[in-house]
Structure 1
Amino acid sequence: MVKIAGLALASPAAAAQILEEAAVEAMEFTRQAEATLLGSGTLDHLDLAVTEFNRAYSLKPPRAVFDAVLEYRRKVDRFLKTDRTLPQERDLRVFAGWLSELLAWLAHDLGNARTGLAFATDAFVQGQQAGHGQLCAWAMDAAASINLYEQRPVKAREAALKGLAEAPAEHPLTVRLHAQAARAAAADGDAEGFTTAFQAAEDAYRFLPPRAPRRFGMDVLPLADYALTSYPATSCIWLGQAEQARQHAEHALATYEAAPAASRSPSREAIARIDLAIAHAQLGNPDDAVTLGHQALDSARVVDSVRNRARDLTTFLTRCYPRQTAVESLREHMAAIDAAARPNLPAATSGA
C-alpha cells in the first residue's frame, strides 16, 4: 500500500516513485469501483419490466401479475447481494421499491392485508435507502388504503401523513394523500377532520402545475381526480350523509366512465357503483341499489376491495329490507363471487 503521507519527506526520485505507484493504485480503485456482476442492460431491462407490470395491473388477473412481479422482486434482491457500484445499488433499491409497492396493491387486491402491508413497508424502506421520497410517498398511499379496508382508520391516517412528509408539494400524489387522510377521518366518524383534510386536498389540487408528471409512462393526474370524487362519496356514506354521497358517487362514476380506455379502472368503477348503491339504499331506493350492486359484481375486475364494499352493501340491504327477493338475489351473487375468489394469494411470499 502506497503511503502518500511520506511524500513531503521523500527525495525527488522517491517522490516520483511514490506518485507513480499511487497512479497505479488509483487505477485499481477505479477498476474495483466499476467491477460489477450486473450486465450493462440489466437496469434497462428492469425499467422496462416495472413499466409493463404497472400497465398490466388494471388489465390482468392480480394473481398472475403477483406471481410475475414477485419473481422480479426476488431477482432484484439477488442483484443487491452481488457486486455492484453505488449508483447501481441506488437504482436497484428504487426498482425493488417500485416492485414492492406494486406487490402491496396486488396482495391487497387478493385479500391478504398482512402481505400487502409488509410489501408497502419494504417499498418505503427501499425508497428511504435510495433517497427517493416520491417512492416512499407512493408506498404510504398503498398502506393507507390497505389499513382503511382493514378498518384501521387511525393507522390509515398515520400512513397518509407519513406519505405527505415525503411527497413533492406540487404533485397529484399530495392531493391523493390528503384525500386518504380525509377518508380515514370519515371512517373514524370524525366529520370535522374529514372536512379539514378534504379541503387540504382541494387546495393542493389548485396548485398543481399545468402539465402533470407521469409514472411509468402513465398520467397520474387521474389518480388525484379519482380521489377527489370517489373518496368523498365513500366518506359521506360512513358519515351518514346519504344525499351528498349520492351526488359524489354519480360524479365519480361519470368521471371513471369518461376516462380514456387505456386508463379505465374496472375495480374503481365497481366501487363507485357500490357507493352509489349504498347511497340509494340509505335514501330508501333498494331496487336501484340492487341493480347497481349486480352491475358492480359483474365487473371485469372484482378484487378484494370491491368484494369488501359489496359486503357492506348486502349487509345494509339485508338489515333494512330483509324480505326483498331482489336483495336475496344479490346476496347469492355475492356468495358466488366470494366462492370463486378462493384461494387467493400464492403461499410463497419470501424474498421481499
Structure 2
Amino acid sequence: MLSVILAWIAHDRGQSQVVAAYCDDAWEQGKQAGTLEVGAWAEDVRCTDALYDDRPIDALAAATRGLSAAALRSPAAIRLTSQLARVHAKLRNQDRFDEAVVKAHQYRETVPLHGTGLFAVDGVRITSYDASSYGWLGEHARARKAALEAIDCYRGIRGPLTAPTRLAIAQLDLALAHSALGEPEAAVHSAREALRSGRLVQSVRGRAKQLNRKLRIDHPTHAEVRAFSEEVRLLTA
C-alpha cells in the first residue's frame, strides 16, 4: 500500500511514468503478499492519472483491470465503478456511462457522505465524479448542479479529513459548466477560488488549463476571461 501512496504523490507531481512504476510495484507486492486487492487500489491511481493526462483509453484499461482484482462491493470496487462511469463519459460512451453511473449511485447510498480517507470511498467523491462526467457529456446544467452539491459538502468537512484537491477540482468543474452555459464571470470567480486553495497539484493545474482553453473559445473578448488567462499562465508556468 506504500507503493500506492507513492503513486498518488507522483500523480500530484505530474510524473506519469513514476505513477506507472509504483503501480506495477504495488501489483507485485500484492501478489507476493497474497493480497491482489492492492492491485485494485493501484489501478485506481493509474486510472485517475490517465484521465487527467487525457489518456481515456488507458484509464479504461486501468479501471477494468482494477475491478477484476477488487472484492465485490468493496471500497476499491465502488471507487473503480465510479471511475469507470467517468471514463465512459470522457469517451462519450453514453450507454456504458448510464450503466456504470447507476451502479455507482446505488453504492453511494451505502457509504459515508465524506471524510473516509485514502483507502476508502465516500458519497461526495461519486457526486464530484458526476460533475466531471456530465460536463464531458455536454449536460452542463446537470454538471453545474453536481459540482455545487460536491462543493457544499467539501466545504462542510472539518479537521484532518478535509479534501482541498477534490474541492478545487469541483470548483473548476463548476467553472467549466458556467462557461458552457454562457456565464463567464461566474466561471472565473469559481476558478479563482479553486486556484487560491494552495493545492496546485498536477490534476488542478491540468483542469485549470482546460478551463482556460474553454473560456478563450467561448468568451474570447471578455475582459475577465483575458485577465484570468494571464493568471493561469503565470500559475502554471
* CA distance in 1: counterparts of 2:50 and 2:56, whole angstroms: 7
8 Å CA contact 2:180–2:218 kept in 1: the answer is no
Alignment partner of 1:268 is 2:147: no
CA distance in 2, matches of 1:123, 1:258: 33
1:295 to 153, 168, 193: 193
TM-score (norm 1): 0.63
Contact between 1:242 and 1:279, CA under 8 Å: does it hold in 2? yes
Taking structure 2 as the reference length, the TM-score comes to 0.93
In the other structure, the counterpart of 1:338 is 236
Aligned to 1:183: 86
1:253 to 134, 148, 151: 151
Residue 102 of structure 1: how far off its partner (Å):
1.2
1:319 and 2:217 are equivalent in the alignment? yes
Q: Which runs of 5+ in 2 are unaligned?
A: none
CA–CA separation in structure 1 for the residues paired with 2:109 and 2:150? 19
1:125/1:219 Cα in 2 relative to 1: closer, same or farther (>3 Å)?
closer
**Alpha-carbon distance change, 315 to 185 in structure 1, aligned in 2, over 3 angstroms:** same
Q: Distance in 1 between matches of 2:64 and 2:70?
A: 10
Runs of 4+ in 1 over 3 A off after TM superposition: 204-208, 218-221
Once the two structures are overlaid, the 10-residue window that deviates more, 169-178 or 313-322, is 169-178
SS at match of 1:301: coil
Instruction: Output the amino acid matched with 1:146.
Output: D
Following superposition, the deviation at residue 190 of structure 1 comes to: 0.9
CA deviation map 1:79-120 (0-9, x unaligned): xxxxxxxxxxxxxxxxxxx22211111111111111112211
Cα shift at 1:180: 0.4
Is the 2:66–2:80 Cα contact (8 Å) retained in structure 1?
yes
Question: C-alpha distance in 1, partners of 2:118/2:163?
Answer: 14
Task: State the Cα distance separating 1:267 from its structure 2 match.
Answer: 1.0
- What is the distance in 2 between the residues matched to 1:198 and 1:125? 31
2-structure distance, mates of 1:122, 1:191: 34
Residues 182 and 194 in structure 1, CA contact (< 8 A), matched pair in contact too: yes
- Deviation, 1:314, is 0.7
Matches within 5 A, 1:94-113: 98-113=1-16
- CA displacement at 1:338 relative to structure 2: 1.1
Q: What's the counterpart of residue 165 of structure 1? A: 68
The structure whose Rg is larger is 1
1:224 to 122, 134, 159: 122
Instruction: From 1, 22, 25, give the equivalent of 1:122.
Output: 25
- Give 1:133 shift: 2.5
The one-letter amino acid paired with 1:253 is I
What's the C-alpha RMSD, in Å, of the aligned pairs? 1.9
| Partners of 1:128 and 1:142 in 2: CA distance | 18
Aligned to 2:138: 240
Report the CA distance between 1:219 and its aligned residue: 7.8
